């Protein structure tokens, strides 16, 4: 049987994808170290925080992220219909998403909600997270849950999500996490509960703080081989393994230091740098020693 390849893609769809990518590239860069990525390679996260290079998220990836953003309120609304269970998706003190911070504000995490009276542990408050994924990944989740039990599932299924859960519990002062995993379109779902492992949570918290406190020290990378699975698809492979020069901006400059606020201070010109100034840089730029 001959497999036919359909290459005639509608130009309107191509243009829409290109516009998605253009708008994403025009968005301001993230200012903080995100707890959501703390389970990744430490050097990858360091490069990301220092804006070491510019990369483009393809439209397919952007649409997957959008699935998650759109699915979360749908899932939350359905859960909030359950009698006896309380799900809060906004911090009552701020009216915004729940947030935890460290290292003078340079380390931040935002979790989806708080759950009270979960029937599996009705007296224990849970951090709530919602993940939207494809059917294959949801099937893997269910297989692991059936094999290893609910409390072991998240770590086996997605280690980055597990570290994220650990940090949210640690910083929020909680000991339980409840993750609801749904298929794209929210037609199917499952869930698992995770317990706080304090020693490991504190290890990753310290690793994040260390990047801020020792900004001129390059963290260890996950592998010395550029062909390692984790490195092969990394956005920073060219900088990390291939010797590409980093982008010129204030964060890659040796004169800039992270200070509480969170702010960045230029020691050469003795001024606090706005996000716009950080991205622009200046003619006195000199590469940070860790990035040389």
- 108 and 100 Cβ atoms separated by less than 8 Å: yes
Q: Decide if pLDDT at 2 tops 60.
A: no
- CATH code given to domain 59-208: 3.90.320.10
Quick: pLDDT tens for 103-128. 999 999 999 999 999 999 999 999 99
Tell me the average pLDDT of the chain.
Answer: 96
Cα 256 from Cα 266, distance rounded (Å)? 4
Q: How confident is the model at residue 55 (pLDDT cuts 50, 70, 90)?
A: confident
pLDDT of 279: 96
Q: Decide if pLDDT at 33 tops 80.
A: yes
pLDDT of 276: 96
pLDDT of 56: 86
DSSP assignment of the chain: -PPP------HHHHHHHHHHHHHHHHSPPP-SEEGGGTTS-HHHHHHHHTT-S-----HHHHHHHHHHHHHHHHHHHHHTTSTT-EEE-S-TTTSS-EEEEEGGGTEEEEESEEEE--TTSTTS-EEEEEEEE-HHHHHHHHHHHHHH-HHHHHHHH-HHHHHHHHHHHHHHT-SEEEEEEEETTSSSEEEEEEE--HHHHHHHHHHHHHHHHTTTSPPPPS-S-TTSHHHHT-TTHHHHTS-PPPP-SGGGBTTEEEETTTEEEETTTTEEEPHHHHHH--TT--B-GGG-
% of the chain residues with pLDDT over 90 = 95
Q: Decide if pLDDT at 71 tops 70.
A: yes
Quick: pLDDT tens for 222-279. 999 999 999 999 999 999 999 999 999 999 999 999 999 999 999 999 999 999 999 9
Q: Decide if pLDDT at 136 tops 70.
A: yes
Q: Decide if pLDDT at 129 tops 80.
A: yes
Region 184-207 average pLDDT: 97
Region 179-184 average pLDDT: 97
Edge-to-edge strands of the sheet including 263-266?
A: 256-259, 263-266, 271-273
């Amino acid at each position: 049987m001959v497999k036919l390849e359909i290459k005639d893609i509608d130009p309107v769809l191509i243009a829409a994808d290109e516009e998605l990518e253009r708008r994403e590239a025009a968005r301001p860069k993230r200012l903080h170290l995100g707890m959501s990525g703390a389970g990744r390679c430490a050097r990858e996260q360091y490069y990301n925080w220092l804006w070491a290079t510019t990369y483009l998220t393809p439209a397919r990836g952007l649409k997957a992220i959008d699935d998650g953003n759109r699915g979360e309120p749908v899932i939350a609304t359905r859960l909030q219909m359950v009698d006896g269970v309380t799900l809060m998706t906004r911090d009552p003190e701020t009216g915004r998403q729940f947030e935890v911070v460290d290292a003078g504000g340079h380390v931040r995490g935002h979790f989806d909600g708080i759950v009270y009276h979960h029937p599996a542990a009705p007296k224990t408050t849970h951090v709530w997270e919602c993940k939207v994924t494809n059917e294959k990944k949801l099937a893997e989740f269910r297989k692991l849950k059936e094999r290893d039990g609910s409390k072991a599932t998240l770590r086996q299924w997605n280690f980055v999500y597990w570290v994220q859960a650990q940090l949210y519990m640690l910083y929020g002062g909680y000991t339980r996490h409840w993750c609801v995993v749904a298929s794209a379109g929210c037609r199917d779902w499952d869930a698992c509960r995770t317990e706080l492992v304090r020693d490991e949570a504190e290890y990753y918290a310290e690793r994040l703080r260390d990047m801020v406190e020792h900004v001129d020290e390059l963290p260890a990378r996950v592998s010395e081989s550029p062909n390692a699975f984790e490195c092969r698809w990394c956005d920073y492979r060219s900088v990390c393994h291939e010797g590409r020069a980093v982008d010129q901006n204030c964060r890659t400059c040796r004169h800039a230091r992270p200070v509480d606020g969170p702010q960045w201070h230029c020691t050469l010109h003795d001024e606090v740098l706005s996000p716009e100034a950080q991205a622009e840089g200046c003619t006195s730029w000199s590469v940070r020693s860790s990035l040389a």
